[in-house]
Amino acid sequence: MVEDDRFIYLISPEAVTTPPALDQFSAALEAALATDQVAAFQLRLKNVTDEWIARATERLRPLCQARDVAFILNDRPDLAVKLGCDGVHVSPEDMNFADVRRILGEELIFGATCRASRDLAFEAGESGADYVAFGAFFPTGTKETEHRATTEILKWWNEIAVLPCVAIGGVTAHNCRPLREAGADFLAVVSAVWGHPDGPAAGVTALADACA
């Protein structure tokens, strides 16, 4: 992840599953990246073929890397290595954390979903993760959430660990500031940017301004 004052971590909508949708989303991503306020982008596609993940990656990865934005692939460390991604993000139910680092090697970024679990955060750190993600902090329509996190876990992690943490789940410009104040290094967002009524660039800027 970039080491500067950028803290917005974009995650793709899962609807990017057809060529027209990829064309449309590519333009939206370019607009968001043009703000120069994005730290990372995660391509998160479920129930699609490896071929489609490769096609989407080949289209979107250069847009991110040209602006020094980390391109993170969800779930698939094998494809992250093969496709020239900057890293991978996994959940504990998807793969053993230690196996992820083994597949990635030492250079690529490894991010881990830790829900609201201190134990998972420790496990991720011990397995070589580069960041941990806590959430969901707020209700979200992006995915079903069984675990709800509070700012207390961000404060705790910030006090005992140097590993960066990401806050995810229903994050918007209206509720993001307390997360940053509690110690979130990055804010992962979906709808707050891609669903913003004035477009993705406005969505990114609203988040940045809310935490300024």
Average pLDDT, the chain: 95
CATH label of the domain that carries residue 134: 3.20.20.70
Q: Is residue 3 part of a domain?
A: no
What total number of domains does the chain contain? Answer: 1
3-state DSSP assignment of residue 160: helix
Q: Is residue 2 part of a domain?
A: no
Contacts of 143 (CB under 8 A, 6+ apart): none
> CB neighbours (10 Å) of residue 69?
26
> If you ran DSSP here, which 8-state letter would residue 180 be given?
H
Q: 16 and 48 in contact (C-beta within 8 Å)?
A: no
Cα(101)–Cα(48) distance, integer angstroms: 24
Q: Is residue 155 part of a domain?
A: yes
pLDDT tens per residue, range 174-206 = 999 999 999 999 999 999 999 999 999 999 999
Q: Is residue 17 part of a domain?
A: yes
Which range marks the domain in which residue 99 is found?
8-210
Least confident of 39-43, 143-147, 151-155, 177-181: 143-147
Q: Is residue 41 part of a domain?
A: yes
The answer to whether the pTM exceeds 0.85 is yes
Q: Is residue 1 part of a domain?
A: no
**For residue 3, what pLDDT is reported?**
59
